[in-house]
Chains A and B, each alone.
Chain A
Amino acid sequence: MFRNQYDTDVTTWSPAGRLFQVEYAMEAVKQGSAAVGLRSKTHAVLGAVNKAASDLASHQRKLFRADQHVGVAIAGLTADGRVLSRFLRNECINHSFVYESPLPVSRLVVQLADKAQVCTQRSWKRPFGVGLLVAGLDETGAHLYYNCPSGNYFEYQAFAIGSRSQAAKTFLERRFQEYDTYSREDLIKDALFAIKETLQGEKLTAQLCTVAIVGEGEAFHIIDQQTIQEYIDAMELSTGGPDEEAAAAAPPSAETQEGGEGASSEPAPMDI
C-alpha cells in the first residue's frame, strides 16, 4: 500500500472509510516471524518460530503464559506484545483474586480487544503493532482466538499469523475439520508441521521453534526442547508426513507446571 494524505493520524478516516494507521499496524503483524495455533475440544497448542536478529543474538520470546489456563503467542512488535502480556497476566490475577476462579478466555480476549480499540481512537496514541493468538481452556472447553491491532478478535479452530503464515494456513485449512477429536500428541505434531511450512525449506529443529500447550488436566506450559525434538524426529521417520502416526518416539511430555518456561537448556532470552 502506498502513502496517501489520510494516513498520518489514526483518527483520520479515508474517504473510502478506512483507517490507514490501523491497517499499517496490521502490516507490522505480517512482518513478524510466524506463530501458529490450533485446538481440539480439550487442548490448545501454540507454536512460534524463533527468529533471532543475528547469530550473535538470542531469539525473542514469543510465547507467554498469562495464567494456568491461558497463554498467548505474539507476532509483530514484540515490545508491544510484552506489554500486552503483562496486561493479560494482571487481568487474570485480578479476576482470580476477586472471583476465586479462572478468567474465562472469551472475557479475556474482549478486555484485550477493548484495550486495542482505545488506541485506534485517540490522537495521541498509536495502535499496538502486534497480533496475539490467545489459547486457553475454560468451562466451555479449549479455545483459540486471534486479537488484531484493530481491536477485532475472532475465534478459530486453527490459525497462523506472521511472515509466510499463508503456507501454514493452507496446511491447516486442509486438516482443521478433524481437529476437534485430535489427540494432544497429534495436535502438537500438526503444530510442528504448520511451523515447518512457514520455514519453506529450512530444516525444522527444536532450536528453531517453541511450542506450548494447555488442556484438560494440563496447565499452560512451554514444552521442553528435548520432547519437541523427539516429536520432530518421529515426524520425519514416518514417510507420509504427519498423516501416519509414528508411535515410535512421541512420548507425552511430563506435565511440568509453574516457572519452567523453557528455561532449561537455552541461554535465557529476554524474559519479561
Chain B
Amino acid sequence: MVEHGDIRVVHCGGSKINFRDPVITHDSRFLLCASGEAVKVFSTSTEECIHELRGHTGLVTGVLLRPSNHLQVYSSSLDGTLRLWDFTDGILIKTCVIGYPIYSFYASDKHENVIFIVASMPSDKRRFQLVAVHLPQSGDQMVEAQELSAVLSGVNPNPAAIAFGRGGEFIASVNDLQWSLEGGWNTFTCVACHPKDDCIATGHEDGKIRLWRNFNHKKEYTYSTLHWHHSTVSSLCFTPEGTNLLSGGVESVLVQWRYNQESERDFLPRLGGAITHITVSPDGSLFCTSHSDNKITIIQSCVKVSAVIQGLVKGDIRTDLMMDPRSKALVLNGKPGHLQFYSLQRDKLLYNLDIVQQEYIHESGLQQFEVVKAAFDASGSWLATVEERHQKAAELELNLKLWAFDEQTQSFVLNTTISAPHDAQITAMCFCQPTDSQTTLLVSTSKDGHFKAWQLAAPAHTEDEGPSWLCDFVSAYHGLVPECCSFSADGSLLAVVFQEVVTVWSPSTWELLTTLSQPPGAVSDLCFGRLSCSKYLLGTTASNLLCWNLLTCSLEWTTSMDVRRLVADPLSENMAAFCYQSGSTDLFVFKPSEPRPLFSHKAVCSGKVTQAVFAPREEMLESCEESSQWLNRSQLYFLTQQMDLMTFTTKAEEDRLLASSKQVSSSHWFSMTPFYLLLGKHRQQQQEHQDSDSSLWAERTALPQTSASMKELLQTPAHVLPSTSYLCSMFVQSLLISVSDARSEKAHAEEEMESEKEEEDSEEEMESSRSKPELAAAAATESDTPALTKAQARELRRVRKLDHSWLAGLLDS
C-alpha cells in the first residue's frame, strides 16, 4: 500500500481462500479459512462470509481450533505472531509474538498450552524445523513467547507434511526427497495419522497411498498400498472416528476408503479444480475440500455437495478486466473455460458462465480450451467470447461465441458459435456502441492480417430460429497485422491499428476514411475520447503517448512515456494511463483536451500493469478536492503483475467504510439485511420501552426514540422492504407517544364500554320492562369473567336478551 495524499492504493478483495486447509467448528456451523492477511469465517449453510478476523500484518499461514476451548481459534502468520480469536464475535483475544515467520503450526489435545510451529532454521533459511512453543499464561492482550524448544529439524514447510498421531503421541513427518519414515522410493506429498490406531497414511507423487503400521518397532514396520489416483495425491484425511480415509488429488475426485476394507471405496467426482486440502468436521458430518481454483466445497457425508464458497480465480488472466454493464460486476476468465462475474461491492463471486461447455479433463499437460477474449456491448445484452486451444504449433482451434442476455433466466444464453472465425489468433474485439442504432456490430481483429465485422442478422428464411450473427465485412490493410480496434463513442467511426498505422473506417459504408501514423513504434493501445473530448483519438506506442485530433487529422500532442495500458472512463472524459518506468508503474489520469494531468501517482505498484478498468460507482461521491474528483463517478481497478487486484480509494470513502464495518461488527453474526436492521432495532426499542415504561412510569419522560427506525425505513430502498401493509402499523406505532400499558388498557376498556353502551341503548328501547337488579347482576357476571372475549360477551348478551324478552312476556301475562 502506498500512500499518496488523499488517495490510497488498496488491495481489493479476491484473496485466496484455498491457501491452507480450512477448519470446521465443532457445531459445524462455521468454516474458518486463511485468506490473505485475514481469517474469514463463513457460514456452512448460507456460504455467507460472516466475519473477517483482521489483525495480522503478514500472510496467514494456518488456522486451528483451540483444543481446550472450541469457541476460540488460533491463527498463525508470516508476521511472526500467533493470535487467538473468538470467532463467533470476531474479537481478537490474545496476540502471542514468536518473532519468526510461521509457515504452519499444529496443536494437540495432549499438550496443553503448547503449539508446534514450523519455522525456518536460524542457520539456513531454506530449511525448516518444528518448534514447540509454550504459550505464556498471562492475562495480557499481547504476550511474547519465550519458551521455544526445537522438536524436529529438516521438516517440510507444507502443513500436509506433518501429522500428529493419536492425539499427539507421535509425530509423523514426510519430506520432499528423503523419507523421515524410511523405505519409501517415491516422493511423499502428504501424511495423515489414524486418530485411534497406530497407523500412518502417506500420499505419494505416483498416486499411491501407503498405510504404514507397526512402526513402533524398529525396522519391522509393514505397509500396504492403495492405488486409485493416477497422479499425485495432494491431501489425505482420516474421519474423526477413523473409519474412513479421504484422499484427493488433481483428478478432482474425492475418494473415500473404508479403513481395513480398502477395496471398498466411494467416489465423488467433478468437484471443480484439483483438490488441495481435505478437512472433516469434528463430528464427522461435514467434509470440506479446497480446490486449486480458489474454491471450498462443503460436502455432507460424502454424498452431496451442500455449499460452495467460491473466491475470485486469478490464476492466469487472459481476458481484459471488464465490467458487466448490467450487474456492474467485474468480469474476467476464471476456472478453465469459464468467465467469472465478480461483484466488487460485495466482494463475492456472483456466478461462473460456462463458455467452453465441455467436460474438463483433469490431467496435467493436456491442452485445454481457454477463454482468451471477451467483450460486452454497451447495454450488456450481448457478450462475445473467444476461446482457443493450441494443440500443436501449427494447429489452433478457435471459436467465437456470441451470447445474448436472457431476461427470463437472468443469464447469458449462447446464440451463435462461429468456429474458426479467423485463421490466426484474435488480437482484439469490440462492440459498436451507438445508443440509437438497432444493429449491433462486433469487430474482431486477428493475427492473420484481417479484421472482420460481424452483424446480427435476422433469419433470412426460417422463423423457427432466432437471429444469428453473420460476417458482414472483411478487410485488410497492406497485409499488416491488426493489433487493436476501437469504436468511437457514437459508433460512427472505427479505428483499427495496423502496427504503426491507425486506420479510421466508417462502419456504415465500410470506407477507409483516413490513416494516421506517427512512427516509430507500433501502436499498442488505442482509445477514443468521450463526451467533450470525442474529437480526440489516443494511442500508445512503446515510447510515446499520442493524441490525434480527428477533425484536422493531425497529431494534437504527444508525450514520451512507456504506457502499458490506457483506459477510458465510460462516464467522463478522463483517461488513465499506466506507464512502466524503471521497475514500477506510474499512473496518470488526464483529460485529452487538457495539457496537465488531473492526477498522477508515482510507483503505484512494482512490475507492469497490463489490465485495468473503470468501474462505475453505485452512488456518486461528492469530493471537491481537485486531485480526487476523477474518482467521483467511477473507481479504477487494476491488476498487478503479481495478479493482485488493486483499487484507489479516497480518505473520505475509507472513513465511511470503516464506520460501517464497525457498525456491522458490533451487531450479531447473522447477516445485516435492511429487514433485520428495521425489525431488529424495533424489537430492541420495544424492549427498551417496556423497561423504561415500567421504571419511569410516573415521569413518562422517555419519548419513543423513533428517529433510528424511521431513518431506516426512509433510507432503505423500497424494493428491499417488506410490504407496506406489514410495516404500516409498526411505523405508526413508532410515531405514537409511548403510553403506559395500564393507561392503554384503560382506554381500551373505555372504548369497549362505549360500544356496549350503544348496543345497550338500542336494546333498552325494546326491553323497557327490564328490571334494574337484573342489569346489575348481568354487570356483575360480566365483571366476574373479564377473560371473556368481546365476541363471547356479545354472544352472551344476545342470549340474555332473548331470555329476557321471553321472560318479560311471561311476566306480562
Q: Do A and B bind each other?
A: no
